[in-house]
A and B are shown apart, each in its own frame.
Chain A
Amino acid sequence: MNRKLVQKIVFTILFFVTLIVIIPVILILSIIIKEGYSAITLEFLTSMPKDGMRSGGILPAIIGTFSIVICAISVTLPIGVLCAIYLNEYAKDNLLTRIIKLAIVNLAGVPSVVYGLFGLGLFVIFLNFGVSILAGALTLSIMELPCIITTSRGALNSVPQSFREASLSLGVSKWQTIRYIVLPNALPGIMTGAILSISRIAGETAPILFTAAAFYVPHLPKSIFDQVMALPYHLYIISTQIPNMPKNLIYGTALTLLIIVFSMNLFAIFIRSYFRKRKKW
């Protein structure tokens, strides 16, 4: 066969494989939008469920998801960033550091349902937080730690070593160098990582299954020790546990969850490109 023909065949195959990859994405989006958009009304987003969830809105699930996410990220972000600073800027390459790094990698590989069980054992039962926003948020924050640490370390690493040396050579202390030179320049990367983590936390079901999520709560949460409804779990319930559930409400709930997650990802992309333009080196 001549080389031009081979070239053409290869290109065609590669093109179609790529097409296969994007088809599911397009299908998911179009089906969910088509089936769900009719459900999305102001009332749907701002009222309590009625008739055993068969009508009314999903407000408690939205509020629940947001409160879990806010609690989880405000625990995991500071711990993760501080840990990344230690590992990247201070830690010497010794056995302890290597064990810590190995632990972080392994933590990332644990299936999310195992985190759920762990959270049930530690936070719900042993620490006696009960099934609550707090227990769910702590479980999720442990799950997200490895990711936050990894992206933060990447962001810290991308600050040129010459900046650190220039700052240190002026007699500025190591901590001041980190505080005034390294961190400000790593911040966009850290923020991007944090937002992507938030969107993943918002979509997780398994870790909150035993630790935070309730089948139905007739009122909005009043404290972090309350059980809450959460969008992913609510979606699971209405699609499997409730007979005669109107289809458009199921897809409407899915669409709401998708919009929340996508808009956070978009926000992350926006931040990244904004800071990339402003980058001063």
Chain B
Amino acid sequence: MVDKIIVKDLNCYFGEIHSIKSLNITVFENEILSIIGPANSGKTTFLRTLNRLNDLNVKFRKEGKVYLGNEDIYEMEPETLRKRVGMVFALPVPLPLSIFENVAYGPRRYGIKDKRKLEDIVEKALKSAFLWDEVKDRLNEPAVKLSGGQQQRLCIARTLATNPEVILFDEPCSGLDPISTAKVEETMIELKKKYTIILVTNNVKQASRVSDRTAFFLMGELIEIGLTENIFISPKDKRTEDYITGRFG
């Protein structure tokens, strides 16, 4: 297995708050790694460090190294990094544009002007996100007219259109009904053939359904990481067991 992301001794701070504590973790290529843990365990902070979205917060400070492949992400241009590491947010955030323009937004900003090429990118991305059949006849309608689940798949398509290597999912189903959730999960499993996926989720069952490996975070520390079936059947740490059996969190 190829190492895609390597995190070495990562510490993250927001002002005085120490939200990630000396984290060492490796993500393999073409796997789905789930990150589970109660609120305030640093899951989302970890995710937003990987595409440097935390840099937007003036209070944010970090120590340690994060490598994408063998490049230090803090030596890269944030734009280049974010093209390679896409993100899908907890609540679907369609931009106030049409369905087509939402998906074409990234490529357009990178300077692709050719209409045929853009149409091609949009169609491919929407097909990979399993949304094409539902929207192909109304690509010019505003994206907010879509249902919540469709919006979230549109956001996935928008990320795919930028052709990333890694996709970060930050509780992507927290606002969705079970049927939409199932569709998004199906999409993720299909996507791991081409992409590396990190999934932060509050839903322990979701982690067990879709991920190859699972990591359990608690209060900013990585408690345990391993193959999903091992974590769920025989966790090594008492706290992991307590969490997945629903005794706290």
CB contacts (< 8 Å) of A279 on chain B: these are 96
A162 touches B91 (CB 8 A): yes
Offer 9 A-B interface pairs, CB within 8 angstroms, sorted by A.
A165-B56, A166-B93, A166-B158, A168-B56, A169-B86, A170-B162, A171-B83, A171-B110, A181-B96
| Nearest B-chain residue to A279, judged by Cβ | B96
A237, B83: Cα distance in complex, Å: 65
CB contacts (< 8 Å) of B105 on chain A: these are 167, 170, 172, 180
Q: Does A173 contact B (CB under 8 A)?
A: yes
* Binary B-proximity of A83-101 (CB < 8 A = 1, otherwise 0): 0000000001100000000
| Nearest A-chain residue to B164, judged by Cβ | A171
Give the bracket for the number of chain A residues in contact with chain B.
20 to 34
A172-192, CB < 8 A from B: 172-173, 176, 180-181, 185
Q: Which of B78, B109, B158 has the most CB of A within 10 A?
A: B109
| Nearest A-chain residue to B144, judged by Cβ | A280
10 shortest interchain CB distances as A-B pairs? A171-B83, A280-B96, A171-B82, A170-B106, A169-B87, A166-B93, A172-B109, A162-B93, A171-B79, A176-B109
Given contacts A163-B95, A163-B96, contact A170 B53 (CB under 8 A): no
B142 touches A280 (CB 8 A): yes
| Nearest A-chain residue to B52, judged by Cβ | A168
B56 touches A171 (CB 8 A): no
Q: Does A15 contact B (CB under 8 A)?
A: no
B149-174, CB < 8 A from A: 155, 158-159, 162
A92, B79: Cα distance in complex, Å: 20
Give the bracket for the number of chain B residues in contact with chain A.
20 to 34
* Binary B-proximity of A266-280 (CB < 8 A = 1, otherwise 0): 000000000000011
CB contacts (< 8 Å) of A163 on chain B: these are 93, 95-96
Chain B residues within CB distance 8 Å of chain A: 51, 53, 56, 58, 78-84, 86-87, 89, 91, 93, 95-97, 105-106, 109-110, 142-144, 155, 158-159, 162
Q: Does A126 contact B (CB under 8 A)?
A: no
Q: Which of B53, B79, B144 has the most CB of A within 10 A?
A: B79
| Nearest B-chain residue to A281, judged by Cβ | B96
**Closest Cβ–Cβ distance, residue B119 to chain A (whole Å):** 18
Classify the interface of chain A: helix, strand, loop or mixed: helix
Chain A residues within CB distance 8 Å of chain B: 92-93, 162-173, 176, 180-181, 185, 279-281
| Nearest A-chain residue to B108, judged by Cβ | A180
Classify the interface of chain B: helix, strand, loop or mixed: helix
**Closest Cβ–Cβ distance, residue B51 to chain A (whole Å):** 6
A170 touches B159 (CB 8 A): yes
CB contacts (< 8 Å) of A181 on chain B: these are 95-96
**Closest Cβ–Cβ distance, residue B116 to chain A (whole Å):** 21
B95 touches A166 (CB 8 A): yes
| Nearest B-chain residue to A171, judged by Cβ | B83
**Closest Cβ–Cβ distance, residue A88 to chain B (whole Å):** 14
Specify which of B53, B110, B143, B144 is in contact with A169 (CB 8 Å cutoff): B53
A170 touches B158 (CB 8 A): yes
CB contacts (< 8 Å) of A165 on chain B: these are 53, 56, 89, 93
Given contacts A170-B83, A171-B79, A171-B162, contact A180 B93 (CB under 8 A): no
CB contacts (< 8 Å) of B162 on chain A: these are 170-171
**Closest Cβ–Cβ distance, residue B54 to chain A (whole Å):** 11
Q: Which of A163, A166, A168, A185 has the most CB of B within 10 A?
A: A166
* Given A168-B56, A170-B109, A173-B79, 19 extra CB contacts under 8 A: A162-B91, A165-B89, A166-B95, A166-B158, A169-B87, A169-B89, A169-B159, A170-B82, A170-B83, A170-B86, A171-B79, A171-B80, A171-B82, A171-B110, A172-B79, A172-B105, A181-B95, A280-B97, A280-B144
